[in-house]
Structure 1
Amino acid sequence: MAMAANSSGGMHNAPLDNSFFVDDDLASDWYIYETMEPAAPQDDMFPSVILDCDPTISPRLYHICMAPTSLAVLVGLSLLVKRRRLYQSCWNGVPGLLSPANFLEEEGNRGLVAAVFGILFSSLCVLVLDKDPLPLITHSSQSSREYWKILALLYYPAFYYPLIACATVRHRVSYLLGCLLSWCHCVIHIWQKVDCPQSPKIYRYYSTLSYIPIILCLVLLSLWYPALFIRSFTRQEETLDKEVTGRGYYKKYLKAVLSKRSQKGSSTKIEESLLSRVQTYLRSYVYTPEEGFRIPLKLVLSITMAVVAVYQVALLLLVAVIPTIQIVRAGMTKDVVVLLVQFGLVPSENPSVPGDMEKELNTVKFYLWSLEVCYICSLVLCCLLTCAMLLRTLVMHRNNLKALYQGAVLDVFYKAHILRPSRQAIVCWMSFASFQTAFACLGLLIQQVIFFICSVAFAFLLVIPLQTGTNSYLFKIIQNMWPFWLTLVVAVIVQHLAAHYQFLEQHPLRKELTNRRALYIVTYLLFPINVLVGVLAGVWRMVISGLYNAIHFCQLDISLLNRGVETFDPGYHAYCHYLKIEVSQSHPVMKAFCLLLLQLAKPEGPTGLQPSHVEEGIQLMQSKKTPPSRTRFKQSRARWWLAYTLLNNPSLTACRKTALSDPTANGTQLSPPKP
């Protein structure tokens, strides 16, 4: 890096009238704020100030054209669906447009839904710092800007609604309209950024970098909709329309559950090596797809939005601080260094000679460069830790969902919960993805503050003094207080040795206390020293608690509070209620059972299903026709499988008694009364 080389190699700037000088490289790389008042002329100090750029297609013109188009597409799709519902003979009929996405169903367009949410969230991140939050209204005043921001929070979801609604209709016309809309949005956004890649907002390339997730998501939509449109010609429209959403997944899940067999083998536990334990621990942080299980759509959206939030927040933290540090480093003069030397912030060999400060100037620039390196390293570490925690939370989500699917409520919650919908559970389910996104943003901010302070302390108290050969304040404290630290260390070691050899009597089957009189004497004599040890332990407890909570702040599957008060943790509280809705409404075994009931209700069908076959679940477990000779054996096995699924389905537990008490339950017919 050219700036780092200049700072470490001793950049020379001649001070002129208490003003500061800016490198050509710096001015060409970073945007310099216009609020500064330099003494030198404007042209000399700011050779490349970024001016406002007006693209060929302005944001206002873009929204004026696309907003009515999106509204017309949405109305056209609604009329199309309503007409097909009212006139079933016209175009074979499809379900109505009920929602932008079936969040409680397993459908194949997960990437499309996540892409639209990514566009929506990135647009909201951009408008927070924009002087015109509502693109339809330009040159808004400072007093009315907050009102336009609130209105924009409602405008952008409606603006991008047709992009996600075109996939819900599941028709060729909707796919074609989705292609046209996604192509228009994508081409206009790319055209705007190519036309005006630089902007004066925060950093010259911030606007372009912040729009990268939007452009990537639009490119994904531009490829996804044509693929759906082409696929609609390869499959029969009637089959596509009448297909039950998620049917294939429910069948795969049920087959994976019922095909599990207990592995026979030795029950002796083999001791694992340290390397295998480390590998197992690292694998627990990496989510790998598992056959027969699929993460719910809401979780996919929450993790995707959290990753986009990490990118947007990290980009804002980077461009808001690093340019300022580099501007200060490049504009540092000897007059400022003299002031820093007088305050003792910079060491100097000749503080009485203020005219010769070349070495001190290089030292100050090196310190500023070190601050820059610490900030970037801490930001990279925070992003990696946050992404690792998000991957870890995916693994925990899968384990919790699988446990609740099997009815093991106490394996997830510390006390019994009834898995049924409620008012609070519905509200938490609706806001779960938003909570995950917000917690990821806040967690990254908290981590950046903590790790930046720690990295600066480590660099200036340990690394730089060792590199320059000077004594730091940390070394002076250790040197002056070494008897105190030695006393604490010796006291702790003596207590451990005495507890092991004098106060603990070890027997083959048990351990007992011994020498109790000596134990009481040592406890009394070491009380003052243990108070000082407790102070250090309390500081360590505070540090480790802060680090742990900061790192795991973005995880909603664990509570940052102790059991008994964890309901006061809003993130974990929302997660628990979210699980209740997902398990009670989207249980795969329950959905598979409902599919059987739906097949039974059909008076006719292409396969000619018999009621007994539907009731016994043979169609879920057997793709081929059952031989007549093995019919009774297959029926018995299917009934046992059906009983197994009902016992492990917590959503149907409350209904089993009344259902089984009916003599006609399970296909049993009442015999006619004898005369």
Structure 2
Amino acid sequence: MTLTVILSVLFPFLYLASTTGQNCSTYNPCGSYGYCGDDLNGNAVCTCKFWWTGTVCTEQSSSGIQVITLGVLVFFLIAVFYGLSIGCSIRRKRQQPKKEKPNLRINENTCANSNLKEIALTNVKESARCSSCFVAVLMVILTIIALTVKWLLIQPIHNELVKKYNVNDSLFYQREPICDIIDFSNFNMLTFPIACFLVLIFIISSKRTSCLRDKFKGYIGPVIPLDFYVHIKRKFAAVIFAIIADELLSIVMEVITGNSPSDQGVIIVYLLRILSVLVIGLRYYPILSAAYMDTILALICATFYAWLNFCVSVYHYSRCQSDFYPSNDNFGDTNGTDLMTLFSFYGTGQNLVIIQIFNDLPQYLCWSYILIKLPMLSVEKIYKWSQRKNGNRSRNLCLTREEKILLHSSVPHSVEMRYVRNLFRAKAQRSITRSFLARLIPKMAYQWRDDFRFSSRIFSVYATVFLLLIFLTIQACVLVVPHLSEMENTLQTLIDAITQFNDVNKTQRDFPIPKLFLPYLLAILTAFVVTTIQLLVLLASIRRNLFQIYRGDVSEIPQRDKSKYLSYTTGNFHFAGYFIGYVIWGYILTAAFAFILYICIDAFITYGSVRFLENILKKIIPILLLIVFKQYLNNILARYVFLQYYGDILAINNRRILMIFLYFNFFLDAFLGFVSSIVRIIKSVIGGCLYMSRLDYSPMGRKLETFDAGFAAYCGFIHIEAVHRNPVMLAFASYVYGRMKTEQYVFNSSVSSTVITGKREMKKYSSKASRKWYLAVLLIRNPSFVTLRKHSLRNGENEEIETLKPDGQRLSLAQNNYHRASLISEIDLQQIWQNNHVK
């Protein structure tokens, strides 16, 4: 009897009423608020929806009345809270004195009151140079030519497979013999040896800067593809990495789908994937290293190699390896079933060809930029060399690439010098950016700053990630949509098994699956938008965290610890790879979560009622209403009862009433704490899925964030980046190094203009004496440093004295007994009186 009463109180909505002589197949007595089912005797039985009751589910149950009442109270509390908040804000504004509007400032760049028309006429003309417009026009022309060539190469394969599809023949095409050379065991063996040969030439023609400079006249030095900690040719490097993203997509798809040869072991498969990544890197190594070396030989070689690589790539992905059309080399993977599904869904017309051309559009635009930019750099370099040769300029001072980059930091218009100048200016006195695009971006979303530039590494990683997202989205839409009908049947069978559809009393499904086409496309679009927004927010967080580390703020990033330098370095190694992996998995998890949510919403819209979801909502809605009610009740009490000046000051008001409230709230929140723990787990799962692509966010919390490998990699990247790209350090080092190089240039010029008959002997001075002399000169020329130096020396002496002092005297046991945690003792009063009396 007790169990029956408890069940009737907890689940009043499961009230069943039977009718005799009729079943649900002939008559539905339950109406729109109930589900009709047949019992073992063939009589109709009504199961009421939500909080309805009665024989035919026409009466509101007591639980329903309570839920409605609680909902009304919650709405009333929310209206009261926000109404009072608006009233307080209006009253606060009226009480504040009126401030005079500041005069419009005029900075060094543009006027602050300039309108959009003036910006369009001045700044756009300055930013849009003739060379940029010329490159853009050539890019479009070259991209159209390349896509047309690919269309002509794919069209015969498409027509051949369409004929085979119409006669029900095996769907594959015969590859040409040259494809076996280009694609030997999934490795491009036509351009790979040429890339290795060019890298060898670059190594021979490069000079060493530090190691064994007297051997082989300084030549045979290692070449780097690009310097990740500078912002020189960032756009060029980012475009190269964007091109590599298309080839990395195939490796990512293999990891996701698990497609690998069955006769090979796990270790061999992983080693082959690592080797394929290294081969991809070596194929693009000469192009990047040539742009960084900036020599005539390197640029000319890279130009011819880039054109050859592009032509081979167009031919390879048209005649040798295609996204949709299987060849005799990979026909055994699917036996042509995937192409049959695509033909049946998209038709045998030109739709597949158009989709493939559209998919290659971003990659070909990037290739067009590289193919045009390299010849322009070569011509520009040859022109400067001819001018220098005809002008007979002095070559007493030869600077390396690294020295030129460092010396650029002390130029007045450099990013580092702008940052240093802004340190001594108020925020209102800083110059406004001249970029037209920067002025169009709302400052609430992102505020453009001319004194900061992202490094080449950030540009390259983001270019790779965005192209990967575009390619992954296109592949997910094109390849998965034709299989959604099969997925509907599979999901319906699985859900029916979970909800026990085989029960004979049920005449309709607990969770009918709607058509998956619209929910799937919305889920993919949602995942792409959410991931893109998260990436943009992370980009702003990287700049903010770097600024914080520059000025010693450790509010978000843990303070740099000497014992963790090894961890920072290894985390910096993993940053790019972890970032790409986290973004892809965040994209997949967000798409899966959104897909489930959109299926539930579509099921409600299509079928009007879903019994399985209604049972879940009946348990969740009362709990959520109770939590929201308690939350807004606490907000009203905290702001208008227990805080002074309506929450403007963190000071307690009505102290005695607060103590009484805290006493009873202690027992009340014990129940809500259990519910809140469940909500906490659900929020953690949802937040972990949505914030998977954010390396600056750790779902483990502030105390355990160092155990998160992604966040540890992000911290290592930020610390290493801040150490090597600190604007103040770079500006100072550039200025000192520039003065040294200037004196060296003057000295070499004076020596070369006079006849030197003998070797000049340099007198060697003591390094300690030289340092003291330089210190004296520095202090004489900068008197303000004297006080700072004295203060620093005095602090060091005080620290040494503190380490030599013995521990303070401990109180006796009798004295400790008089002391209490929150009360002042008589001994303390006597001590205070004695101290005041002595004074």
> Shorter-chain-normalised TM-score: which range?
0.5 to 0.7
Over aligned residue pairs, what C-alpha RMSD do you find?
5.2
Q: Report the counterpart of residue 81 of structure 1 in structure 2.
A: 206
For 1:245, what is the secondary structure of its paired residue?
helix
**1:166 corresponds to which of 290, 295, 303:** 290
Q: Report the counterpart of residue 398 of structure 1 in structure 2.
A: 543
- CA distances 1:366-419 after superposition (whole Å, capped 9, x unpaired): x552x22112211111111111111111111112222323x324244344546x
**How far, CA to CA, are the matches of 1:300 and 1:490 in structure 2?**
44
**How far, CA to CA, are the matches of 1:285 and 1:536 in structure 2?**
36
**How far, CA to CA, are the matches of 2:620 and 2:738 in structure 1?**
81
**How far, CA to CA, are the matches of 1:116 and 1:463 in structure 2?**
47
- CA distances 1:234-286 after superposition (whole Å, capped 9, x unpaired): 43476996560254355323432343354499xxxxxxxxxxxxx99975554
Q: Tell whether the 8 Å contact from 2:408 to 2:734 is kept in structure 1 after alignment.
A: no
Question: More deviation in 238-247 or 144-153?
Answer: 238-247
Identity of aligned residues (%): 16
**1:463 corresponds to which of 605, 615, 620:** 605
Q: Report the counterpart of residue 298 of structure 1 in structure 2.
A: 457
Q: Tell whether the 8 Å contact from 1:120 to 1:156 is kept in structure 2 after alignment.
A: yes
- CA distances 1:503-557 after superposition (whole Å, capped 9, x unpaired): 8597897512455897589659x84xx6664454334333332222222221222
Q: Which amino acid aligns with 2:571?
A: C
**How far, CA to CA, are the matches of 1:669 and 1:494 in structure 2?**
62
Pick closer, same or farther for the CA change 1:660–1:139 going to 2, 3 Å.
same
Using structure 2 for the length normalisation, give the TM-score: 0.53
**1:591 corresponds to which of 730, 748, 763:** 730
Q: Report the counterpart of residue 619 of structure 1 in structure 2.
A: none
**How far, CA to CA, are the matches of 2:730 and 2:631 in structure 1?**
62
Q: Tell whether the 8 Å contact from 1:73 to 1:177 is kept in structure 2 after alignment.
A: yes
Q: 1:663 and 2:773 equivalent?
A: yes
For 1:64, what is the secondary structure of its paired residue?
coil
Q: 1:224 and 2:373 equivalent?
A: yes
Q: Report the counterpart of residue 242 of structure 2 in structure 1.
A: 118
Q: Report the counterpart of residue 522 of structure 2 in structure 1.
A: 377
Q: How does 1:533-552 map to 2 (within 5 A)?
A: 533-552=672-691
**How far, CA to CA, are the matches of 1:174 and 1:60 in structure 2?**
27
Superposition deviation, residue 295 in structure 1: 0.8
Q: Report the counterpart of residue 179 of structure 1 in structure 2.
A: 303
Q: Specify every segment of 5 or more residues in structure 1 that has no aligned partner in the other structure, as ranges.
A: 1-30, 32-41, 132-137, 266-278, 352-359, 611-657, 671-675
Superposition deviation, residue 425 in structure 1: 2.6
Q: 1:98 and 2:258 equivalent?
A: no
Q: Report the counterpart of residue 188 of structure 1 in structure 2.
A: 312
**2:740 corresponds to which of 601, 610, 615:** 601
Using structure 1 for the length normalisation, give the TM-score: 0.64
- CA distances 1:290-346 after superposition (whole Å, capped 9, x unpaired): 2121111222222222223323443444445322114567x99xxx9xx99x98599
Q: Report the counterpart of residue 484 of structure 2 in structure 1.
A: 325
Q: 1:442 and 2:604 equivalent?
A: no
**How far, CA to CA, are the matches of 1:93 and 1:494 in structure 2?**
74
Pick closer, same or farther for the CA change 1:68–1:248 going to 2, 3 Å.
same
**How far, CA to CA, are the matches of 2:624 and 2:206 in structure 1?**
81
Q: Tell whether the 8 Å contact from 1:421 to 1:581 is kept in structure 2 after alignment.
A: no
- CA distances 1:560-590 after superposition (whole Å, capped 9, x unpaired): 2222321111111112122222222232332
Q: Tell whether the 8 Å contact from 2:586 to 2:689 is kept in structure 1 after alignment.
A: yes
Q: Which amino acid aligns with 1:587?
A: N
Q: Report the counterpart of residue 615 of structure 1 in structure 2.
A: none
Pick closer, same or farther for the CA change 1:606–1:452 going to 2, 3 Å.
same
Q: Which amino acid aligns with 1:325?
A: L
Q: Which amino acid aligns with 2:182?
A: L
Q: How does 1:90-489 map to 2 (within 5 A)?
A: 96-107=221-232, 109-127=233-251, 142=264, 147-195=271-319, 198-200=324-326, 214-236=363-385, 244-245=404-405, 247-251=407-411, 252-260=414-422, 261-263=424-426, 283=443, 285-286=445-446, 289-326=448-485, 344=501, 367-369=513-515, 371-405=516-550, 407-415=551-559, 417=561, 422-460=565-603, 462-466=604-608, 470=609, 472-475=611-614, 488=626
- CA distances 1:428-473 after superposition (whole Å, capped 9, x unpaired): 222221221111112112212222222222222x32234xxx5644
**1:512 corresponds to which of 645, 654, 662:** 654
**How far, CA to CA, are the matches of 1:490 and 1:548 in structure 2?**
20
**How many residues are matched?**
532
Pick closer, same or farther for the CA change 1:520–1:394 going to 2, 3 Å.
closer
Larger-gyration structure (1/2): 2
Q: Tell whether the 8 Å contact from 2:208 to 2:220 is kept in structure 1 after alignment.
A: no
**How far, CA to CA, are the matches of 1:50 and 1:659 in structure 2?**
84
Q: Tell whether the 8 Å contact from 1:303 to 1:436 is kept in structure 2 after alignment.
A: no
**How far, CA to CA, are the matches of 2:228 and 2:659 in structure 1?**
68
Pick closer, same or farther for the CA change 1:216–1:434 going to 2, 3 Å.
farther
Superposition deviation, residue 598 in structure 1: 2.7
Pick closer, same or farther for the CA change 1:313–1:259 going to 2, 3 Å.
same
- CA distances 1:180-207 after superposition (whole Å, capped 9, x unpaired): 1111111222234444574247666698
Q: Tell whether the 8 Å contact from 1:186 to 1:219 is kept in structure 2 after alignment.
A: no
For 2:773, what is the secondary structure of its paired residue?
coil
Q: Which amino acid aligns with 1:581?
A: I
Superposition deviation, residue 495 in structure 1: 6.0
For 2:530, what is the secondary structure of its paired residue?
helix
Pick closer, same or farther for the CA change 1:599–1:147 going to 2, 3 Å.
closer
Q: Tell whether the 8 Å contact from 2:523 to 2:591 is kept in structure 1 after alignment.
A: yes
Q: Report the counterpart of residue 432 of structure 2 in structure 1.
A: none
Pick closer, same or farther for the CA change 1:159–1:193 going to 2, 3 Å.
closer
Question: More deviation in 252-261 or 109-118?
Answer: 252-261
Question: More deviation in 560-569 or 139-148?
Answer: 139-148
Superposition deviation, residue 175 in structure 1: 0.9
Q: Which amino acid aligns with 2:300?
A: L
- CA distances 1:20-57 after superposition (whole Å, capped 9, x unpaired): xxxxxxxxxxx9xxxxxxxxxx9999959742452685
**1:51 corresponds to which of 157, 164, 172:** 172
